[in-house]
Amino acid sequence: MDKALDFTIKNKIPGTLARTGTITTPHGVIQTPAYIGAATAATMKTLTNAEIDELGAQSILSNTYHLMLRPGANLIAAAGGIHQFMNYHKPLYTDSGGFQVFSLGMAYKKGLDATSHTTKGSSENAVMSPDQLSKVEKDGVWFKSHLNGDRIFMSPEISMELQHKIGADIHMSFDQLTSPLSGREQIKEAMDTTHAWAKRGLIRHEELNQQHVAAGENLQALFGVVQGAREEDFRLESAGFLGELTLETGAQFDGFGIGGTFQPEELPDVLTWVNGTLPENKPRHLLGMGAQPADLFLGAEFGCDTFDCVAPTRQARNGALYTYGGRINIKNLKFAEDFQPIDQNCDCYTCQHHTRAYLRHLFKANETTGLVLASIHNERFVVRTVEEIRQKINAGPEQFWQYKKEFLTDYYGAERAADFLATSPEEWR
């Protein structure tokens, strides 16, 4: 390809931001909306690439923070890039690591108590208190490795260099996370920092892409990350700034990520502010969407083209399994002699070959196979749900609204589903 990314819109639902389309990358095409599987450390936990392909995943996302710590970006580059390193040949995303820099420290859990700020440049002599796991400076962030406590510096330029060495198709710009406990002043400060870092990262990204061109290598794409928490004016400002950001060379972001942590009920407002402002002709990725199926419907309805989440495999490893009648805990005693599949309407390998009783036995016996089979089921459930959402949008508005109502009512029950159906046309609530 002579471009890092190409995005085409196929169908829309009138009166909404919902759309279907295609994202074309050097490693293949993603039909959107699409769920992007979380392969944080260059693997989707407990699953092989063959299993990932069989469950229908179109793409996966790895994390720069984790990969820079081990095995290291230089080693991945020496292997020929992440596609060669993990022998995965479909489109690949990398997150910048910005979320992990903060979320793995107390800065995320306890507001800004564990994070200090300074307008000075980066310094190897930056002082961090014993319980402080991250320190924001003008040039970037000092943080402590969650593996061994080493002090590490990350800047937007370093994040870009690491991501280009890793060599995924689509990268995320380095941003500053805000704690759920942050006030407006702290949110504004973090957003302004994110914008400054976004421009610096885009400059370095373009320089690195020019090196790829000279070497006859694939171009790599970069998404700017919109911040602003739950504040409408900040979200509008962030989406407007990043959507319009253009370097003197004409370089712009290839798409956009939407950062933040939300409850499903908050998604309609936040996504309307952001996706109603961002350029329509570029893809939008909802970063780390929540752990509920409602997020999939609301994300698609309000203009997100792709979304990633670690919840399906994480919950599977804890025995929490999705069914079309709601989530179940397979470790419960009532499943000990239940010889049905996890869900009779599921087409995954696990449901076609094994029973609830067998899964429960594996979990109670601490057998790794149980984690594998549970992960296959949860991942297929989410991938298939988004496939259905995409098909229904293509089939027309009534098909989508009907599917949304039926799915969410079956999954949550009528009373809880009503909260998520409030954004549907009145006849489909």
User: How far, in Å, CA of 72 to CA of 95, rounded?
Assistant: 15
6 is an active site residue: no
109 pLDDT band (50/70/90 cuts)? very low
User: How far, in Å, CA of 240 to CA of 260, rounded?
Assistant: 17
Q: Is 144 helix (H, G, I), strand (E, B) or coil?
A: strand
Phi, psi (degrees; rounded to nearest 5) at 23: -110, 120
Q: Which H or E run includes 121? A: none
The amino acid present at 334, given as its one-letter code, is: K
User: How far, in Å, CA of 375 to CA of 46, rounded?
Assistant: 7
Q: How far is CA 336 from the centre of its chain?
A: 35
User: Would you say 138 and 121 are in contact if contact means Cβ atoms under 8 Å apart?
Assistant: yes
95 is an active site residue: yes
Asked whether residue 220 carries a pLDDT value surpassing 90, the answer given is yes
What pLDDT is attached to residue 122? 52
What pLDDT is attached to residue 108? 41
Average pLDDT, the chain: 92
Asked whether residue 110 carries a pLDDT value surpassing 60, the answer given is no
Judged by average pLDDT, the poorest of 134-143, 304-313, 392-401 is 134-143
- Quote the Cα angle for 357-358-360, to 5°: 65
Q: Is 22 helix (H, G, I), strand (E, B) or coil?
A: strand
What pLDDT is attached to residue 144? 82
Phi, psi (degrees; rounded to nearest 5) at 14: -55, 140
User: 113 and 44 share a domain?
Assistant: yes
DSSP-assigned states of every residue in 199-232:
HHHHHHHHHHHHHHHHTTPPP-EEEEEE--TT-H
User: 299 and 363 share a domain?
Assistant: no
What pLDDT is attached to residue 282? 98
Q: Is 98 helix (H, G, I), strand (E, B) or coil?
A: helix
Which residues are registered as beta bridge partners of 154? 141
pLDDT tens digit string along 28-47? 999 999 999 999 999 999 99
Neighbours of 366 (CB within 10 A): 8
Average pLDDT on 73-89 reads 98
Question: Which has more pLDDT, 101 or 18?
Answer: 18
What pLDDT is attached to residue 98? 78
User: 278 and 239 share a domain?
Assistant: yes
Which residues are registered as beta bridge partners of 8? 22
Share of the chain above pLDDT 90, in %: 83
Q: Which H or E run includes 370? A: helix 368-395
Most trustworthy range by pLDDT among 78-87, 126-135, 284-293: 78-87
Pick from 309, 339, 369: which residue ends a domain?
309
Residue 256 maps to a domain? yes
User: 123 and 272 share a domain?
Assistant: yes
Q: What is the chain's alpha carbon radius of gyration, rounded to the nearest angstrom? A: 21
User: 46 and 131 share a domain?
Assistant: yes
How many folded domains does the chain comprise?
A: 2
User: 299 and 418 share a domain?
Assistant: no
User: How far, in Å, CA of 247 to CA of 89, rounded?
Assistant: 32
User: 224 and 327 share a domain?
Assistant: no
User: How far, in Å, CA of 141 to CA of 128, rounded?
Assistant: 11
193 pLDDT band (50/70/90 cuts)? very high
User: 232 and 350 share a domain?
Assistant: no
Residue 107 maps to a domain? yes
User: 128 and 97 share a domain?
Assistant: yes
Catalytic residue among 95, 139, 175, 254: 95
User: How far, in Å, CA of 312 to CA of 382, rounded?
Assistant: 8
The CATH number of whichever domain residue 208 belongs to comes to 3.20.20.105
| C-alpha count within 13 angstroms, C-beta hemisphere, residue 313 | 19
User: 332 and 304 share a domain?
Assistant: no
Average pLDDT on 237-246 reads 98
Determine how β-strand 6-12 pairs with β-strand 19-25.
antiparallel
Which residues are registered as beta bridge partners of 85? none
User: How far, in Å, CA of 118 to CA of 105, rounded?
Assistant: 18
Assigned token pair, 61: 């996302």
User: How far, in Å, CA of 395 to CA of 278, rounded?
Assistant: 26
119 pLDDT band (50/70/90 cuts)? very low
Domain that holds residue 392: 320-428
Share of the chain above pLDDT 70, in %: 92
Residue 314 maps to a domain? no
User: 191 and 300 share a domain?
Assistant: yes
For residue 33, cis peptide bond before it (omega within 30 degrees of 0):
yes
What pLDDT is attached to residue 123? 52
Residue 315 maps to a domain? no
Average pLDDT on 4-19 reads 98
Asked whether residue 414 carries a pLDDT value surpassing 70, the answer given is yes
User: 365 and 304 share a domain?
Assistant: no
Residue 291 maps to a domain? yes
Average pLDDT on 344-372 reads 98
Pick from 309, 335, 368: which residue ends a domain?
309
Pick from 254, 288, 309: which residue ends a domain?
309
What pLDDT is attached to residue 138? 86
Catalytic residue among 175, 254, 308, 343: 308
What pLDDT is attached to residue 129? 57
Residue 1 maps to a domain? no
